[in-house]
Structure 1
Amino acid sequence: MTPRRRGPRPLPLHLNLALLRGMGAALSLDPMTGAPFSPGSPSWSDAWPISRAGRLEMRRIAEALVAGGHPPERFRAAVLRQLARQDRALIAGLAAYRRHPAQREMPSLPVLWQEGETRLLDYGGAGPPLLVVPSLVNRAYVMDLAPGHSMLRALAAGGSRVLLLDWGWPDEAARGFTLTDYIAGRLERALAAPALRPLGPLALAGYCMGGLLALAAALRRPERLRGLALLATPWDFHAGDGQARERALTLAALLPGIEPVLQATGTLPVDLIQTLFAGLDPWNIAAKFRAFASMDPAGERAHRFVVLEDWLNDGVPLAAPVAREALGGWYGRNEPAGLRWRVAGAVVDPAELAVPSFVAVPGADRIVPPASALALAARLPGARVLPVPAGHIGMAAGGRAEAVLWQPLREWLAGL
């Protein structure tokens, strides 16, 4: 039976982006004005043919055609035909994804501890314990996608007793949580769960936003830990080129506009989170679905694409107080890098970490720019830094993930 899919979420946004791109091309090619089209933010202006490079290329070709005695209208028509072909491929890719029969099917796991919707899942394994902390805004199973392609099961098979803190969907109580409530509350209570006491000191690993939560917990409870791994974890939200700072400040500037939604629902809803992420690379979603249209639907590559895309669209809303802290405090005021981020009243300072650390930095990450993660590594005492030739998600779940991350992480854990 084919799953009922709503994605890519929010679907109207991605369809309208394709329309916006075509309108921008038509304006840029207008024979009367030749007016460049730019929505403003660099992230929204770098798609061919509305990017600066695309406009320069179009101008060069048009001038060459005129010099050769060819009417420029033919070039304009050719560009618009190409855009129409790409739009047809996008629709074909979206339709193929939504009717694809693939589903994630993994065995259920023992639950060692639970509070509200948050569960501590046991992946087994013979060896020292490793507790993995995912982000609050995505489902935890990105690290356990499919049989034979699961970071958590690979780590369990490679010498660690692997435990996953699955935050779950925020219930009514969790909608009022701050970052302190999650870190000094649920995360620390999970660390103190009776089932973990016989296992001894833990290694703690955090992915993306989960890395910041894990770091704060490690600073508060060093006696429970033997090491800390931070995977694609941001620190300096304004680091990198000027565009990184501009994007961060743009996200923060949206906070007053979404405040009515936060107050009405108690959360930052999934579709709004997806819209904010889309703003980091707004044209990528259409590009990947155009590529999917040409894949063999029965092939392993297509199956993996569908399972990963299902995960991307199976998001979790963010508690409203956390959304305010993240957008305003992290992205806007850059509180972590300025040593102004506090958990339970105490400043979170990586320089005070008392256990060995491992920092994985994906070189092609658009969500956490490498400079942001490297700023964290620079402040940690003696951190082992692993450059990863992958993107934010590909690092953990891509086709090369085992070689570029899982195995190096296994080796580091074995050396603790």
Structure 2
Amino acid sequence: MIPIDIRPDKLAEEMLDYTRKLGQGMENLLNADKIDTGVSPKHPVYKEDKLVLYRYDTPEGITPKPVPLLIVYALVNRPYMADIQEDRSTIKGLLATGQDVYLIDWGYPDGADRSLTLDDYINGYIDNCVDYIRESHGLDAINILGICQGGAFSLMYTSMHQEKVKNLVTMVTPVDFEAPGNLLASWTRAMDIDLAVDTMGNVPGELLNWTFLSLKPFSLTGQKYVNMVDVLDDPDKVKNFLRMEKWIFDSPDQAGETFRQFAKDFFQKNGFINGGVILGDREVNLKDLTCPVLNIYALQDHLVPPDASRALKTLTSSGDYSELAFPGGHIGIYVSGKAQKEVTPAIGKWLNEHSAA
């Protein structure tokens, strides 16, 4: 057994440093400004019910490319994760590559939205936003970037409206819900979805959020607050920590019927693989998707394991399919310094090459 060397002078020094950081941290927390939700300038261009479609301002000195890009985010949590801070912004990086960026903000569903279905989201809201952008730019087709569940929505949308989508990028997108290591899917398969929705109506965002945190309870609910002490004496790092905390707990409720169908058709029936997903009067078939696809996944993703995303490769009819593996996690693919240097520039480069073709 290796003896533990705990010298009194060393212990006292560490305790003093810990106390100093706590004291400075309290001052920094009290003086912290209001935490913003997104840092890149944008303006609303289209509204429908709770939905707002934003267009981001083009940075000075950048000429936007002719084919605009629509970002479709998940219904869970808020889309400002993609624009969380100045030096950790996927959107800012895309703008720097010349992308003309639009983003759908789903808002906060309430009781009036309980009966919204997947068809309402895919063939209603998304299609209306795509048509607005197409008409504004005088184009037949635009580019789409789908993130997480928004990637699954984008796959469904593109397969049903291929003529309106020029290029598709999917990020950490679940495709095979029975892929190994998918703990969230395993839990959801055991749920009585009908009982949950019939009882609650809309599914509380707080319930879903704590479910996600429970997938990694030590690191996501305990260890990060212990580690927080190391940054408390730096006002900028404190603000960045608070930004992330705000996003984590900013969880909209889910429209009951949409949650019911998505959970049953995908988590329980693996709809992209096995078929049977009906939107309106049509069945979703990824073989109807023919445009170029860039599929990006994270190698340490605990929510969407790599195999769950890589399954897309054989499911579409695209003759131009590419993959990009990122050595990080589900959130790090947006906010890590490595992602800013590798992932976002790669997306912009791929879109520019394919939009010009």
What TM-score does the superposition give when structure 2 sets the normalisation length?
A: 0.82
Shift of 1:100: 7.3
Map 1:342-381 → 2, pairs under 5 A: 342-380=278-316, 381=318
> Residues 277 and 298 from structure 1, CA distance in 2 versus in 1: closer, same or farther, beyond 3 angstroms?
same
Verify the 8 A CA contact 1:255 1:324 in the aligned structure 2: no
Equivalent position SS for 1:110: strand
Distance 1:256 1:143 in 2: 30
Q: Does 1:248 align with 2:180?
A: no
Shift of 1:323: 1.8
Superimposed CA distance per residue, residues 224-250 of structure 1 (whole angstroms, 9 cap, x where no aligned partner): 221000000001111124xx3x64232
Pick one of 283, 299, 317 that aligns with 2:218. Answer: 283
Report the identity percentage. Answer: 24
Shift of 1:299: 5.1
Map 1:182-201 → 2, pairs under 5 A: 182-193=121-132, 196-200=135-139, 201=141
| Residue of structure 2 equivalent to 1:118 | 51
| Residue of structure 2 equivalent to 1:143 | 82
* Larger RCO (CA under 8 A, 6+ residues apart): 2
> Residues 225 and 256 from structure 1, CA distance in 2 versus in 1: closer, same or farther, beyond 3 angstroms?
closer
Equivalent position SS for 1:400: helix
Verify the 8 A CA contact 2:193 2:260 in the aligned structure 1: no
Shift of 1:108: 5.5
Shift of 1:280: 1.8
Superimposed CA distance per residue, residues 134-159 of structure 1 (whole angstroms, 9 cap, x where no aligned partner): 00111111111123432112212311
| Residue of structure 1 equivalent to 2:162 | 222
Verify the 8 A CA contact 1:297 1:303 in the aligned structure 2: no
RMSD of aligned residue pairs (Cα, Å): 2.9
| Residue of structure 1 equivalent to 2:263 | 327
Verify the 8 A CA contact 2:272 2:286 in the aligned structure 1: no
| Residue of structure 2 equivalent to 1:205 | 145
Shift of 1:258: 6.2
After superposing the two structures, state which structure 1 stretch, 205-214 or 271-280, moved more: 271-280
Verify the 8 A CA contact 1:152 1:162 in the aligned structure 2: yes
Shift of 1:351: 2.8
| Residue of structure 1 equivalent to 2:275 | 339
In structure 2, what residue type is equivalent to 1:214? S
Distance 2:256 2:31 in 1: 35
Q: Does 1:239 align with 2:179?
A: yes
| Residue of structure 1 equivalent to 2:353 | 415
| Residue of structure 1 equivalent to 2:334 | 396
In structure 1, what residue type is equivalent to 2:212? F
Verify the 8 A CA contact 1:134 1:210 in the aligned structure 2: yes
Map 1:52-67 → 2, pairs under 5 A: none
Could you tell me which runs of 5 or more consecutive residues in structure 1 were left unpaired when the two chains were aligned.
1-60, 66-84
Verify the 8 A CA contact 2:300 2:328 in the aligned structure 1: yes
In structure 1, what residue type is equivalent to 2:192? L
Shift of 1:195: 7.2
Distance 2:344 2:283 in 1: 31
Q: Does 1:386 align with 2:324?
A: yes
Q: Does 1:293 align with 2:293?
A: no
> Residues 354 and 270 from structure 1, CA distance in 2 versus in 1: closer, same or farther, beyond 3 angstroms?
same
Verify the 8 A CA contact 1:113 1:190 in the aligned structure 2: yes
In structure 2, what residue type is equivalent to 1:363? L
> Residues 100 and 291 from structure 1, CA distance in 2 versus in 1: closer, same or farther, beyond 3 angstroms?
farther
Structure 1 or 2, whichever has the larger Rg, is 1
Distance 1:133 1:100 in 2: 35
Distance 1:215 1:274 in 2: 24
> Residues 300 and 398 from structure 1, CA distance in 2 versus in 1: closer, same or farther, beyond 3 angstroms?
farther
Shift of 1:306: 2.0
After superposing the two structures, state which structure 1 stretch, 310-319 or 290-299, moved more: 290-299
What TM-score does the superposition give when structure 1 sets the normalisation length?
A: 0.71
Verify the 8 A CA contact 2:326 2:333 in the aligned structure 1: yes
Distance 1:289 1:400 in 2: 23
In structure 2, what residue type is equivalent to 1:208? C
Aligned pair count?
326
| Residue of structure 1 equivalent to 2:36 | 104
In structure 2, what residue type is equivalent to 1:279? S
Equivalent position SS for 2:273: coil
| Residue of structure 2 equivalent to 1:39 | none
Distance 1:288 1:257 in 2: 35
Equivalent position SS for 1:392: coil
> Residues 257 and 326 from structure 1, CA distance in 2 versus in 1: closer, same or farther, beyond 3 angstroms?
closer
